[in-house]
Structure 1
């Protein structure tokens, strides 16, 4: 973590650091931080490797920026101003050095009423739709063989509690120029919300004890911008009990790893601290992951584990043994116990 923050210790096990960076998909960020810091002399083989990684990462960044500018301009032509989220937002955000940050897709949110028109517009510049669904929580993915990544179109965030659609997020956005077009850019606080919701609740990292180190670094970068993160506002967006506990667990982890000044009142409580400790133990002893996950599910099971086609969230706890409840419960357990995604620690 010190190396990723640009302040490597004197005696660095570079083989171990690079292996951990490869596992967490942060090698490009590692290379960029060492180039900027230049605080210690690197071994020749490490220097050559990181230089090669950095050159490739910068080229990928350039191609992704060009792709984003083209897509935004295309959508503007049909009177759609998309909202940039996750990696796409960092590419367009002033004051954030996202060079080297690995991206495989560009996530855009448009109003639900404009989703079909947005897809049709992308098709006119050569994109082919890869996936589509009537489910409002499923992204519509578009790809071209000439690009470094895909375009993922959303109309809302996937989590149902708290629920954020285009209109609610737009209240916390500003307009920014992207190439010759314009897009909506969420505030640092709103971007932190999106990343934490995605990992903790959508990807179930709260129950699984996983950490997406790229997103941890993203939140740290957002906190260090001139505007910074409004921690009280961020906390107010997470309802009490489970969503609030998931938020605090993530904030405990971020503060423990990189110390960005999260207010103490937002990282108190024995359960979030225990969950952070569990993550660190599990990172070293991955075989304990399934056991810890089952214990967390037993002590704090998901309250809102699925969403119907009508957009209404249904709770497994207290919902009753209605038709299909066991099928949904089994599906939810499969999702939680699936193979962890690349980059998760």
Structure 2
């Protein structure tokens, strides 16, 4: 990570469509590869080709072209899976990259690099969905225990370029969602099938919760630049993001800090216009400063891990029904040993797509 960390601001300028000065292109391309944003540089290359090194343009075009082919195969795979599930009476909810594939025009299909297809079904539909997919050749590659808090099934076929990640709930802890996901979805056709797609604002909400809590980005100080680009593109889509609606889904202090941390990064790194009230509070700005410092100086990740205590009490209050009883005995306590061990291990791990 440290090899490419100094290129963060240069890469962000490229993604914003502003050619940076005095660029170490090897570092910029290396960081783009690490953060899975290389295909998203195609617009920058198209506009500034005359100013850029020939090998950089050729490389970005090659990666983008390959990603177009891969995403076309993923789109065909998704359509087939949807029809199979529809035939069993299941209308799936498309999440993350799967939703992007369904709504993105063909000419823009290669901009986002994705590894799998995230699909959500209702709890009573899980077995039917699995049966439908197995009937067209899928095999279960991995599966969470039935009693786990986040049940999922990963299904694969040898002929496909990506797996299907079948889930029963939206990303991240359930207590962050006030309303059922279905109440924020719109029916849409996909090939010969029918799907449900969350509204752009709700997709943004789920993406933020995924990065900040399911992927532990809020606690570790990670940046997911690929998802920041996706949030920017959601805001640039027809109608854009409804900031008032987004904030209406915030359910507590911890979630507010996490959402605003992501919005501060979106404004500072990619130049998205965010309402001042959503990017001006101290704790989110401190978290953003931490993210940038860790990207520039990876050795600071462990010392900065102490910043997690800023919201530890909020986390316990909002995630546990037992907090109110325990809070009477102690206003604050250090994390449990297994929690500390997990965070320390994750803080030094190399994670694809993160910086």
TM-score by length of 1: 0.88
Find the counterpart in structure 2 of residue 82 from structure 1.
Answer: 92
1:7-46 deviation digits (Å, cap 9, x = unpaired) = 334654322210110121111222x223542454432222
Q: Is the 8 A contact 2:45 2:52 kept in 1?
A: no
1:186 matched to 2:198? The reply is yes
Distance 1:216 1:316 in 2: 33
Report the counterpart of residue 59 of structure 1 in structure 2.
69
Higher helix share: 2
Match of 1:26 among 16, 21, 37: 37
The counterpart of 2:129, out of the listed 114, 118, 125, is 118
Local SS of the residue matching 1:78: coil
The secondary structure found in structure 1 opposite 2:312 is coil
1:4 corresponds in structure 2 to 15
1:148 alignment partner, one of 133, 147, 161:
161
The structural deviation recorded for 1:162 is 1.0
Q: How many residues align?
A: 333
Structure-to-structure mapping, 1:129-140, within 5 angstroms: 129-132=140-143, 133-134=145-146, 135-140=148-153
Q: CA RMSD in A?
A: 2.6
Structure 2 equivalent of residue 287 of structure 1: 299
1:344 and 2:354 matched: yes
- Structure 1 unaligned segments of length 5 or more: list them: 321-325
Give the number of the structure with larger relative contact order, counting CA–CA contacts within 8 Å between residues 6 or more apart.
2
Residue 268 in structure 1 maps to residue 280 in structure 2: yes
CA contact (8 A) 1:29 1:101 kept: yes
- Distance in structure 1 (CA, Å) of the matches to 2:90 and 2:316: 32
Cα distance change on mapping 1:86 and 1:149 into 2, 3 Å: same
Match of 1:162 among 176, 179, 184: 176
Aligned match of 2:338? 331
CA distance in 1 between counterparts of 2:110 and 2:49 reads 19
Where structure 2 has 5 or more consecutive residues not aligned to the other structure, the ranges are: 1-11, 328-332
Moved more, 154-163 or 61-70: 154-163
Q: Which residue of 1 aligns with 2:139?
A: 128
CA distance in 1, matches of 2:109, 2:317: 34
Report how far residue 161 of structure 1 moved. Answer: 2.5
Q: 1:119 to 1:303 in 2, by over 3 A?
A: farther
CA distance in 1 between counterparts of 2:341 and 2:83 reads 40
**Distance in 2 of aligned mates of 1:333 and 1:138:** 24
* Counterparts in 2 of 1:21 and 1:318: CA distance versus 1, 3 Å: farther
After alignment, is 154-163 or 141-150 more displaced?
154-163
Question: Aligned equivalents of 1:95 and 1:59: distance in 2?
Answer: 14
Structure 1 residue 319: Cα displacement: 4.0
> Alpha carbons of 1:297 and 1:2: their partners in 2 closer, same or farther (altered >3 Å)?
closer
Whether the 8 Å CA contact 1:72–1:181 is kept in 2: the answer is yes
Change (3 A) 1:18 1:317: farther
> How far off is 1:341 after superposition?
2.0
SS of the aligned residue for 1:344 comes to coil
Distance 1:228 1:291, change over 3 A: same
Per-residue CA distance 1:264-312 (angstroms, 9 max, x = gap): 111121111111111111101011011101x2123322655799xxxx9
